[in-house]
């Protein structure tokens, strides 16, 4: 039986075979614990982790010891936000600015700080372009603002948020700037290299690497580490910020996937652009609508409003031809209308008629091999 075409790469990607082979080597042959200092197995594992750290740092334009390995962007987001709580309380800086379209891994930690510790959080809604206005961030800044947290590429619409403009307007402040870069790391490289971005979160499985590994980039300020406190305690790994035995195969695989993505980025983008051309053609034929601005959308992710069709029914009807999503995979089990799509529509029926298509493959994109989006 022929498999349906996979169009949910924003949820996760297949592991590159070269990455899988490398990971297997570190699972079966070089299986040492990077924390074992008394023998060569541990030494080689530690060297492998250091090499991986340097590879990630070269893409992020930071120092290797500013790369903190985590289980993925969700943990990285939690560490970036909750890890600053004690600093905020000690300094009286208890105001945070974010967008209303962040991933739940950002929104829920912020709501936790608000509800349990008395922090104030301002949520900026996007306009119909799908992006927030950086000037709204500027207008909301206060003397007690601790942090601004704004994602780079929205995981449900593919719309690029103005992180470069926000970084520029924060230059003359001490406000911490955190970016959720799960959908953009190793794909939109230069914006994340901005030294005014204090922290950004990444995941390995969004770039043809393994699940269960990611990182929080934590840039120093004037040679001083950020005042983060750990959420996990134990052996003091990852510079005291993330205790636990380092998963060497995952770390090595993540770094190699990152390097391959950057090295082959031109091909990935060319194929993604062909995909997006096909999507736009189908949208025009069936008189559907794409959410957000064409100028701000990445070519590998789009949200489509299917007029009066229910997205759940649509996906069930199409599941033998292709698979997609109707929101974030991290909240799909709840069957609640997307908080992102609700920013575009007042009508919940319209909100529930949106699907997300995403494509990021190292295989050639052939339009004739991909299905019509229309209901028949």
Helix (H, G, I), strand (E, B) or coil at 221: strand
The domain 5-15+265-369 is placed in CATH, from the list 2.30.42.10, 3.40.190.10, 3.90.1150.10, 1.20.1060.10, at 3.90.1150.10
Q: Please report where in the chains the tokens 């790391």 appear, as a residue.
A: 185
Tell me what the mean pLDDT of segment 333-341 comes to. 78
As a whole-number percent, the residues of the chain with pLDDT over 70 amount to 95
Query: What's the number of CA atoms in the CB half-sphere (13 Å) around residue 303?
Result: 29
Q: Please report where in the chains the tokens 């992180």 appear, as a residue.
A: 163
Answer whether residue 68 shows pLDDT above 90: yes
Answer whether residue 74 shows pLDDT above 90: yes
Annotated domain spans of the chain = 5-15+265-369, 17-262
pLDDT of residue 232: 94
pLDDT of residue 346: 85
Residues 284-316 pLDDT 10s: 988 899 999 999 999 999 999 998 789 999 999
Contact status, residue 262 vs residue 271, Cβ threshold 8 Å: no
CATH architecture of 17-262: 3-Layer(aba) Sandwich (3.40)
Name the token pair of 199: 């922290």
pLDDT of residue 362: 74
Q: Mean pLDDT lowest for which of 98-107, 116-125, 230-239, 365-374?
A: 365-374
Residue 346 belongs to what H/E stretch? none
pLDDT of residue 268: 93
List 62, 208, 330, 343, catalytic entry: 330
Pairing of strands 354-358, 301-305: antiparallel
pLDDT of residue 348: 85
Q: Mean pLDDT lowest for which of 116-120, 129-133, 266-270?
A: 266-270
Beta bridge partners of 218: 199
189 φ/ψ angles, rounded to the nearest 5 degrees: -75, -50
358 φ/ψ angles, rounded to the nearest 5 degrees: -145, 145
Is 330 assigned a catalytic role? yes
> Within 10 Å of residue 365's Cβ, how many Cβ atoms?
17
Tell me what the mean pLDDT of segment 139-163 comes to. 98
Query: Which of 196, 147, 199, 150 lies closest to 176, judged by CA?
Result: 147
pLDDT of residue 331: 57
Position 371 confidence tier, pLDDT thresholds 50, 70, 90: low
Residues 176-214 pLDDT 10s: 999 999 999 999 999 999 999 999 999 999 999 999 999
Mean pLDDT of the chain: 93
Residues 4-27 pLDDT 10s: 999 999 999 999 999 999 999 999
156 φ/ψ angles, rounded to the nearest 5 degrees: -110, -20
pLDDT of residue 126: 98
Query: Which of 287, 147, 139 lies closest to 226, judged by CA?
Result: 147
Alpha-carbon distance of 112 to 40, in angstroms, equals 44
- pTM across the whole model: 0.95
- Strands in 89-223 per DSSP E: 95-99, 120-124, 145-149, 176-180, 199-203, 214-218
Locate all alpha helices (DSSP H) within 61-162, ordered by sequence. 73-82, 85-91, 104-117, 134-140
Position 127 confidence tier, pLDDT thresholds 50, 70, 90: very high
Alpha-carbon distance of 265 to 59, in angstroms, equals 13
pLDDT of residue 309: 82
pLDDT of residue 329: 65
Answer whether residue 330 shows pLDDT above 80: no
Alpha-carbon distance of 97 to 142, in angstroms, equals 10
Q: b/e for 103-114, b at 16 or more Cβ within 10 A?
A: bebbbebbeebe
């Amino acid at each position: 039986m022929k498999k349906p075409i996979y169009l949910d790469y924003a949820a996760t990607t297949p592991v590159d075979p070269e990455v899988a082979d490398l990971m297997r080597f570190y699972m079966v042959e070089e299986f040492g614990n990077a924390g074992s200092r008394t023998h060569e197995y541990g030494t080689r594992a530690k060297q492998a982790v250091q090499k991986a750290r340097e590879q990630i740092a070269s893409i992020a334009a930071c120092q290797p010891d500013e790369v903190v390995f985590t289980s993925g962007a969700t943990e990285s987001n939690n560490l970036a936000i909750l890890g600053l709580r004690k600093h905020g309380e000690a300094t009286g800086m208890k105001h945070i600015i974010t967008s209303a379209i962040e991933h739940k891994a950002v929104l829920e930690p912020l709501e936790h700080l608000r509800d349990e510790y008395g922090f104030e959080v301002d949520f900026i809604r996007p306009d119909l372009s799908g992006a927030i206005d950086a000037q709204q961030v500027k207008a909301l800044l206060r003397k007690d603002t601790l942090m601004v947290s704004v994602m780079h590429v929205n995981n449900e619409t593919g719309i690029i948020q103005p992180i470069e403009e926000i970084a520029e307007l924060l230059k003359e402040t001490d406000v911490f700037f955190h970016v959720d870069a799960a959908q953009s790391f190793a794909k939109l490289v230069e914006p994340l290299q901005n030294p005014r971005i204090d922290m950004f979160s990444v995941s390995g499985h969004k770039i043809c690497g393994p699940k269960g590994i990611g990182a929080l980039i934590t840039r120093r300020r004037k040679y001083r580490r950020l005042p983060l406190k750990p959420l996990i305690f134990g052996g003091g790994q990852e510079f005291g910020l993330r205790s636990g035995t380092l998963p060497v195969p995952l770390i090595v695989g993540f770094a190699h996937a990152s390097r391959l993505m950057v090295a082959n980025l031109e091909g990935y983008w060319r194929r993604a652009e062909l995909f997006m051309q096909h999507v736009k053609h189908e949208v025009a034929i069936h008189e559907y609508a794409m959410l957000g601005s064409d100028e701000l959308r990445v070519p590998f992710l789009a949200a489509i409003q299917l007029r009066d069709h229910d997205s759940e029914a649509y996906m069930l009807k199409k599941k033998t031809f292709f698979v997609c999503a109707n929101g974030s995979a991290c909240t799909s089990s709840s069957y609640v209308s997307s908080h992102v799509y609700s920013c575009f529509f007042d009508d919940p029926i319209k909100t529930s008629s949106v699907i997300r298509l995403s494509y990021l493959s190292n295989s050639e994109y052939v339009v004739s091999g991909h299905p019509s989006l229309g209901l028949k």
